[in-house]
Structure 1
Amino acid sequence: MHNDPDSVASLLRARYRRRLPSRLAELTGPERGRVELPLHIAWSGLRTLDLDLSRQRMSLYRTVLAEGMRDGLCRFLNRDILLELWPVIHRLIGRTVKDVWEEAFPELRP
């Protein structure tokens, strides 16, 4: 059986859309220090990351944006940091994730 790429893409978009918080203000995660991500979010690679180190902060945000459910997004991401990182991070995450977030939150668009 052949999967239609358009239907796969729309299913993926719907999955990411369901995970979104209703407002960026719900992203109340830490701004500094070490953060340990649960295995269901960071199932591959580093799980403990230091937000004070720019590469690790970027890595945490990429991972949580791609793998986090709504509670994880709100718990681990911070609105101000997301807005600060978005001009770079939107090029490093999957297109579907980027599009869903920018459609829901126009303030993220470049």
Structure 2
Amino acid sequence: MQAVSPTTTGVAHLARPGRPAVVARTLAELGGPTRGVVELPVRLMWCPDRAFDLADPDQLLWLYENVLREASNPDDLRRLVNGRMLRRVWRLLNLPRGVRLAWETRHRCLRSA
């Protein structure tokens, strides 16, 4: 899976100043888990408690918010985010404007999700 970059879209949406948002080319490529406990690597979350129980809706949202905001490569997205689940929870996610715009620009189905 390759990330959508400013050179392929013509537009750079930033996750935060100086960091472009990483976006999957297709939602079908996102085969992350939908149950169980997921532990994020330190590079995606710096606090000591990095484990998320996907059965808890709040923890699922928090996991996705962190991954979508902090991902620096498409492998993070493919491994940690599930495309069908992302579509279900999209409107509930608290994301930086640049991240939301990047994903909705690439995946128009998320705008109406």
TM-score class, shorter: 0.7 to 0.9
Give the structure 2 partner of residue 108 of structure 1.
110
Matched, 1:20 2:23: yes
Structure index of larger Rg = 1
* Mapped contact 2:52–2:60 kept (Cα < 8 A): yes
List alignment gaps of at least 5 residues for structure 1. 1-9
TM-score, structure 1 normalization: 0.81
Shift of 1:12: 2.4
TM-score, structure 2 normalization: 0.79
Spell out, residue by residue over 1:42-62, the C-alpha distance to the aligned partner (whole angstroms, 9 max, x if none).
Answer: 123631110011110010000
Compared with structure 1, are the counterparts of its residues 11 and 80 closer, same or farther at alpha carbon in structure 2 (3 Å cutoff)?
A: closer
Compared with structure 1, are the counterparts of its residues 84 and 25 closer, same or farther at alpha carbon in structure 2 (3 Å cutoff)?
A: same
Q: Which has the higher helix share?
A: 1
Q: CA RMSD in A?
A: 2.0
What percentage of residue pairs aligned between the two structures are identical? Answer: 36
CA distance in structure 2 between the aligned counterparts of 1:87 and 1:95, rounded to whole angstroms: 13
Compared with structure 1, are the counterparts of its residues 11 and 106 closer, same or farther at alpha carbon in structure 2 (3 Å cutoff)?
A: closer
> How many correspondences in the alignment?
98
Q: Which has the higher strand share?
A: 2
Shift of 1:15: 1.6
* Mapped contact 2:34–2:85 kept (Cα < 8 A): yes
Shift of 1:11: 6.8
- Which residue of the other structure, out of 23, 37, 41, is the alignment partner of 1:38? 41
